[in-house]
A and B are shown apart, each in its own frame.
Chain A
Amino acid sequence: MQKEVLLSPKYDFNFIGGDKNSFTFQTVHKLTYEITFKPTFCLFGEDSSFAPYTFEFSIILVDNPADKLPQLDKAILPTIASIFADFFEKAPDTIAIYICDSSDGRQLIRHKKIDTWFYYYKHIFVKIDSQFLQKYGTIYPVSLIIKEYHPFRTQIFDEFLNVVNGYNAGK
């Protein structure tokens, strides 16, 4: 199955760079996506020793000319997975945080998609999932992804869970 995804068609992408480490690609349905790895202090705080290595991973639909819900496109997930692998190759100590947008109520679908592509790389990366629960009941799934053999794996997971559980005073 892993071989299947690695061999499945994917789009060429380009590293744009910038302060958000952006990548871009276009699909046959004329959609343009940006994948970004934005340095973030939001989660661990500036004082954390993990802060310089922490990036928020985002998938931004930059242009959707038909203004319709994007169609199923089997090449998108392998493309995103390749971009992810490319970024980690450049910065292997990266701690990637992914928060699923809940504004349109599709956060659980997004989370499932991330799980799908992550499955193919589970021998390289390790992921931990949790969620933020907003006051009025909206759930925001949040995942942290690092290299499987990250030397501070246990400490990172502990700190992540502490923060997400809201024990991090003075944020």
Chain B
Amino acid sequence: METVAKKILTPEERQANVDKFIKRWKEEKAKDEQEARDRFKTPEYQAILKKLREKNAKRGIIIPEV
């Protein structure tokens, strides 16, 4: 089996990798959050929430309508 030697990175290269990873993660997270907030406003989503409120109410958990 062929062994591929991994390059040992310098501390600067490692830091650059981490910074790049975090930057990309934050950008994607912001996009995902915005998408979720947009989806929340749709009638389909509001219908799901209405059903959830009804289900919760049957168990005595009253969620006020926004």
Residues of A within 8 A of B (CB): 9, 11-14, 16, 20, 22, 24-28, 30, 32, 34, 36, 38, 42-43, 58, 60, 62-63, 65, 75, 99, 101, 103, 132-135, 140, 165-169, 171
Identify B48's interface contact among A14, A101, A166, CB under 8 A: A14
In the complex, residue of chain B having the shortest beta-carbon distance to the beta carbon of A66: B66
Sorted from nearest, which 8 A-B pairs have the closest CB atoms?
A166-B14, A12-B55, A62-B40, A169-B7, A34-B36, A62-B36, A60-B36, A26-B63
Q: Report B-chain residues with C-beta under 8 Å of the C-beta of A99.
A: 25
Instruction: Write the chain B residue with the least CB distance to A132.
Output: B18
Q: Are B48 and A16 in contact (CB under 8 A)?
A: yes
**Interface class of chain B by DSSP:** helix
- Sample of 16 more A-B contacts, CB < 8 Å, known A24-B48, A168-B17: A11-B52, A16-B48, A20-B32, A24-B45, A42-B28, A60-B33, A62-B39, A62-B40, A63-B40, A134-B19, A135-B15, A140-B22, A166-B9, A166-B13, A166-B18, A169-B17
Complex CA–CA separation, A34 to B34 (angstroms): 12
User: Do A28 and B17 contact each other (CB < 8 Å), given the known contacts A63-B37, A103-B26, A140-B22?
Assistant: no
B residues contacting A by CB (< 8 A) are 6-9, 13-15, 17-22, 24-26, 28-29, 32-33, 36-37, 39-40, 45, 48-49, 51-53, 55-56, 59, 61-64, 66
Q: Do B21 and A42 have beta carbons less than 8 Å apart? A: yes
C-alpha gap A161/B53 in the complex (Å): 42
Listed residue (A9, A20, A62) with the most chain B CB atoms within 10 angstroms of its CB: A62
| Identity of the chain B residue whose Cβ is nearest the Cβ of A65 in the assembled complex | B66
Q: How far is the CB of A111 from chain B (nearest CB, A)?
A: 16
Give Cα A110 to B29, complex, Å: 16
Interface centre among A75, A103, A133, A166 (most CB of B within 10 A): A166
Chain B residue, CB-CB nearest to A169: B7
